[in-house]
């Protein structure tokens, strides 16, 4: 089956977009493109430790200074090209986070695949649900899998995937979560206007549902996309 070359999950923190991207990766063979991980890979590439730009950016990264946007864009574009040359479809869940990032990414997508090969899932969730999920979860120290608190998981201390220790993140407190909402409305939500303007197809899914039910909606959409594009 032919799937979109690029799938992007957008939504509030706590919408479950990262989980859905992981599921699309596991079940449909997409590569989960995590910008943070890609950059880390680049800054620590043993073959590049004589490159002054890489060394400078690694130092910035280690001291918490933002990496320079031009360098980030160049690296991201190179990795997107590399993975797609290997025949991989890509799924995004952490970017684009702003109009500036979106303008850059969309240009790369357009030149490589055309907008008709990009599909956006908007995971719709209320602030209350999102707040509840963010403040009632723990994250695996090792593999970063999030575990949501409920009657079944309340005694869990170790990660069901890798056995790592589950910890509460310092970011997951109401004041900080609300600040992240404001950032989302200010920086990320305007990206939907750009998506509409350039004509990328957007599908809304109900983020209030449990992960498996959302995954079912996503599967249905991917399959009907595939049918539409192979006939």
213, 131 in Cβ contact below 8 A?
Answer: no
Stretch that binds Zn ion, among 86-94, 98-106, 154-162, 213-221 (CB under 5 A): 154-162
Name the β-bridge partners of 137.
148
Q: Is 147 in the site for Zn ion (CB under 5 A)?
A: no
From 143, 167, 171, 173, residue interacting with Zn ion (rule: CB under 5 A): 143
Q: Is 159 in the site for Zn ion (CB under 5 A)?
A: yes
H or E, element range at 8: strand 6-10
Name the β-bridge partners of 43.
none
The DSSP output letter for 165 is B
202 is in an annotated binding site: no
H or E, element range at 72: helix 69-85
SS3 64: coil
Q: Is 142 in the site for Zn ion (CB under 5 A)?
A: yes
Q: Which of 152, 70, 142, 80 is nearest to 110 (CA)?
A: 80
- What phi and psi values does residue 50 have, to the nearest 5 degrees? -100, -5
From 2, 162, 167, 171, residue interacting with Zn ion (rule: CB under 5 A): 162
11 is in an annotated binding site: no
101 is in an annotated binding site: yes
Q: Is 167 in the site for Zn ion (CB under 5 A)?
A: no
Site for Zn ion in 102-141 (CB under 5 A): 140
Q: Is 55 in the site for Zn ion (CB under 5 A)?
A: no
Q: Is 90 in the site for Zn ion (CB under 5 A)?
A: no
Residues that bind Zn ion (CB under 5 A): 140, 142-143, 145, 159, 161-162, 164
């Amino acid at each position: 089956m032919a799937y979109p070359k690029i799938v992007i999950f957008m939504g509030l923190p706590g919408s479950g977009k990262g989980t859905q991207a992981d599921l699309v990766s596991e079940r449909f063979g997409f590569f989960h493109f995590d910008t943070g991980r890609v950059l880390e890979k680049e800054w620590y590439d043993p073959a590049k430790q004589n490159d002054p730009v890489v060394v400078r950016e690694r130092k910035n990264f280690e001291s918490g200074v933002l990496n320079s946007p031009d360098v980030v864009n160049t690296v991201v574009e190179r990795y997107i090209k590399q993975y797609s040359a290997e025949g991989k479809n890509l799924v995004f869940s952490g970017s684009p986070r702003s109009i500036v990032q979106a303008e850059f990414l969309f240009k790369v997508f357009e030149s490589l695949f055309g907008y008709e090969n990009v599909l956006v899932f908007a995971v719709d969730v209320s602030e209350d649900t999102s707040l509840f999920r963010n403040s009632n979860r723990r994250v695996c120290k090792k593999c970063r899998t999030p575990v949501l608190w409920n009657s079944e998981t309340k005694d869990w201390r170790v990660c069901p995937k890798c056995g790592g220790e589950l910890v509460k993140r310092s970011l997951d407190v109401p004041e900080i979560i609300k600040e992240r909402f404001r950032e989302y409305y200010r920086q990320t939500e305007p990206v939907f206007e750009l998506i509409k303007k350039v004509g990328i197809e957007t599908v809304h899914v109900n983020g209030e549902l449990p992960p498996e039910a959302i995954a079912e909606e996503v599967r249905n959409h991917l399959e009907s996309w595939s049918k539409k594009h192979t006939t």
